[in-house]
């Protein structure tokens, strides 16, 4: 694993990893770095994930064998803060569901390079799957009240946890302090009062963000901002003349090994059409099987 990453130690007293990156050109596809942090005695893997803006599931995948609740003082933890940008237009908000990550492309400012921001998200469970498609932000609310649907209230009642028709703003509100309503009826991008669920399939279909992340994003997104909800478990992209591949576990409802291999081939065909290069098939096969979500060099030679 260490051959795949850039090693350096970060202080865990602050969130030291950037969420905003410059894009020198449209052919610049890889952002961020993979790094290492050293766990403290009081840390859980979930604490480290939140401080470094990583989703829970991916943090566990790239740190196999590390105890989720007690990593242990001095344990080296891999922080997978390197990402290939999703294929498609770099405009507005892009939500890549298998990756459980949001990308926001702010309008370009005069005299500055284009930028992208990225944040982990929580998405809908398989039985409450987040829908795919294109939509827009239609409304913004600070300190929203939550009006659970009848289906959600019925589910909670069957579990012996009845819900009121309206949950007022406050610490017990599952929407957190900020909500962005989408053009798809009943769906939101919102904060949460359960931040450890970010990076997992735990919601009733809405998109959850860490409280500190949506607080940063909320004021930047005007009503009308385009939102694309996509299904890209496989991404390929260029950086420094090298081709990278990134494979995430597919959504269970869409999983098919043959279809995943086909997606890899299509992504590589698209990437190599821009710049022919020799590929390392052994590494490609490994990434398809391991599905760590770490961008990995798959080109050979110079």
Mean pLDDT over 22-44 rounds to: 91
Mean pLDDT of the chain: 90
Res. 7: pLDDT tops 90: no
What confidence category does residue 54 fall into, taking pLDDT thresholds of 50, 70 and 90? Answer: very high
The answer to whether residue 82 scores a pLDDT higher than 90 is yes
Q: Say if residue 10's pLDDT is above 50.
A: no
**pLDDT band (50, 70, 90) for residue 301:** low
What average pLDDT does the segment 171-177 reach?
92
Domains, the chain, ranges and CATH?
1-22+31-82 (no CATH), 120-230 (2.40.440.10), 234-297 (no CATH)
The confidence score (pLDDT) of residue 151 equals 85
Q: What is the reported pLDDT for 17? A: 55
What pLDDT, on a 0 to 100 scale, did the predictor assign at position 15?
44
Does residue 128 register a pLDDT over 90? no
Give the residue numbers marked as catalytic.
190, 206
Which band of pLDDT confidence, cut at 50, 70 and 90, is reported for residue 302? low
Reported as a single tens digit per residue, the pLDDT across 268-290 is 999 998 788 899 999 999 999 99
**Interval 210-255: pLDDT, tens:** 999 999 999 999 999 999 999 999 999 999 899 999 999 999 887 7
Q: Is the pLDDT of residue 66 over 90?
A: yes
* Per-residue model confidence (pLDDT) at position 166: 86
| One-character DSSP codes across the chain | -GGGS---EE-TTS--S-SEEE-SSTT--EEEEEEEEE--TT--HHHHHHHTT--HHHHHHTSTTS-SS---TT-EEEEEEEEEPPSS---EEEEETTTTEEEEEPPPPTTS--EEEEEE-BEE-GGGPPPPEEEEEEEEEES--B---HHHHHHHHHTT----S-B-SSTT-TTTTEEEEESSTT-EEE--S-GGGTTSEEESSPEE--HHHHHHHGGG--TT-EEEEE--SEEEEEETTEEEEEE-PPPGGG--HHHHHHHHHHHHHHHHHHS---B-HHHHHHHHHH-----EE-B---
Write down the residue that tokens 């410059």 correspond to: 22
Name the pLDDT band for 18 (thresholds 50, 70, 90): low
| Residue 5 pLDDT | 36
Share of the chain above pLDDT 70, in %: 93
Whole-prediction pTM? 0.90
Confidence at 158, pLDDT banded by 50, 70, 90: confident
If pLDDT is split at 50, 70 and 90, which confidence band does 204 have?
Answer: confident
pLDDT, mean of residues 103-130: 92
Q: Which residue has the higher pLDDT, 24 or 18?
A: 24
């Amino acid at each position: 694993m260490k051959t795949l990453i850039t090693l350096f130690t970060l202080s865990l007293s602050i969130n030291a990893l950037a969420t905003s990156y410059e894009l020198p050109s449209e052919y610049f596809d890889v952002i961020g770095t993979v790094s290492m942090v050293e766990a403290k005695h009081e840390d859980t893997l979930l604490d480290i994930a939140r401080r470094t803006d990583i989703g829970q599931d991916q943090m566990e995948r790239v740190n196999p064998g590390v105890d989720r609740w007690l990593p242990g003082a001095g344990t080296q933890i891999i922080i997978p803060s390197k990402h290939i940008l999703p294929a498609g237009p770099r405009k507005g908000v892009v939500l890549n569901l298998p990756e459980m990550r949001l990308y926001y492309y702010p309008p370009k400012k005069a005299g500055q390079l284009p930028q992208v921001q990225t944040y982990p998200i929580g998405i809908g469970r398989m039985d409450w799957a987040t829908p795919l498609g294109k939509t827009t932000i239609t409304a913004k609310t600070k300190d929203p009240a939550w009006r659970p649907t009848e289906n959600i209230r019925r589910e909670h009642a069957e579990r012996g946890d009845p819900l009121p028709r309206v949950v007022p703003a406050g610490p017990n509100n599952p929407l957190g302090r900020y909500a962005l309503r989408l053009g798809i009826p009943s769906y939101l991008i919102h904060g949460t009062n359960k931040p450890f669920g970010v990076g997992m399939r735990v919601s009733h279909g809405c998109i959850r963000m860490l409280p500190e992340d949506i607080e940063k994003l909320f004021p930047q997104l005007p009503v009308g901002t385009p939102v694309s909800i996509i299904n890209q478990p496989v991404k390929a992209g260029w950086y420094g003349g090298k081709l990278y591949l990134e494979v995430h576990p597919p959504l269970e409802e869409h999983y098919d090994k043959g279809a995943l291999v086909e997606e890899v081939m299509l992504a590589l065909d698209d990437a190599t059409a821009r710049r022919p290069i020799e590929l390392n098939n052994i590494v490609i096969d490994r990434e398809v099987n391991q599905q760590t979500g770490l961008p990995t060099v798959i080109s050979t030679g110079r």
